[in-house]
Structure 1
């Protein structure tokens, strides 16, 4: 099979998979688990109406500025990052996000209570209105400032995007709207070289947590998160 045919087949399979996912999501109410998801071991991190299960970074209670009616959304001017009470090591995280025009946000993982901000320890799945004009390593779906997404899979600003983050013994995949857009291995020579050449070299705790919290970032722009689900991997 030629390289062109292989690429075409991969794209066709991705389109089919994306369509199946979209159909399944359309059948399930927001912020709920289907029977199949429950059977597979998925758990909700957001019940659609409260911040139960969440706290602040280094504080026991979540910041009061976060709204939780249907989607988690911060007060852009005042809210601190929202962090899960539970710690997660190897997992698959699924969530939907919507960003405001020119907006910026992110989801961090393996966040540990060291430093002044969640991103000083937790690698960040980037959330962005790509019209903001950020360089490729800072565009939506990539690992912020380190690994650029392979393609722009974002929907028009104002629409919800579906993200998946798979973390399995240091091997990480970023998915956006049915396509894998970034892949890397934490601790690999390539990863270490990229960190050493970035701003993260200032924080020796960056990406050192083998387990940690998941954080939703307030970057000063309106952003919404819903259908936040996690499955712990053995």
Structure 2
């Protein structure tokens, strides 16, 4: 009888330890912005099979070298932006990027490919740029990790040009979070009073469908010279 009680106590202790460890792991993930392992690689097999151009039939301006996706730096209005073939609604996206000195780019979600607008008017943007080396003063909501021209990031620690940064974007509609190097720096809700006021008084006031979609493609802008790697997404 004593042996059975001892075994029961041992199993109960093990179960409690396992549960506690799992909760600690979940807490650590939330605190650092790390993404769970059950994600889909969007550069799997070192190919661009999961990608297409936003406004062209064949991929142009991008090269994939040893798992790293290089943008040529064609410019904001060169129409050489790339998007996923699949669309996503609620998701957890993570990737690494590094940018050349005095260059900028952007990461988009909820992109609507049929739009006749440039990609930056089609979808919300997570800004990517050389904050420290940019040659002119920008508005607070135009620097790295901003919800571009809408929400300024708070507490960003951007690594210098040429060094890898880690980005994470989580969307559980209508809630959105921007993470940079393990720190949550932007948080907002589509359609909220704050969102509508910022849109009405800012850059997107004359773009009626901006931020209205509830699903769409992931997009990468070929504006400046930037390199991406380890692009992963998990649908929520």
Q: Could you say whether these structures have the same fold, taking a TM-score greater than 0.5 normalized by the shorter chain as the test?
A: yes
Aligned to 2:186: 182
Cα shift readout 1:15-70 (whole Å, capped 9, x = no counterpart): x954x95xx9xxxxxxxxxxx71xx3x1011126321110011434322x201112
TM-score, scaled to structure 1: 0.80
Partner of 1:128: 129
Q: Out of 47, 58, 61, which is 1:61 matched to?
A: 58
Correspondence for 2:49: 52
CA drift at 1:152: 2.4
Partners of 1:206 and 1:61 lie apart in 2 by 26
Match of 1:86 in 2: 86
Q: Cα offset for 1:72?
A: 1.1
Residue in 2 that maps onto 1:230: 233
Matches within 5 A, 1:201-212: 201-212=205-216
SS at match of 1:125: strand
The structure with the largest alpha-carbon Rg is 2
Partner of 1:33: none
Structure 1: give runs of 5+ residues left out of the alignment: 1-12, 25-35
Separation of aligned partners in 2, 1:68 and 1:157: 20
Partner Cα distance (1:90, 1:75) in 2: 30
Instruction: Give runs of aligned pairs for residues 111-126 of structure 1, distance below 5 A.
Output: 111-112=111-112, 113-126=114-127
RMSD of aligned residue pairs (Cα, Å) = 2.3
TM-score by length of 2: 0.79
Of 144-153 and 85-94, more deviation after overlay is shown by 144-153
How far apart, in 2, do the equivalents of 1:60 and 1:224 lie? 22
Deviates most, 45-54 or 200-209: 45-54
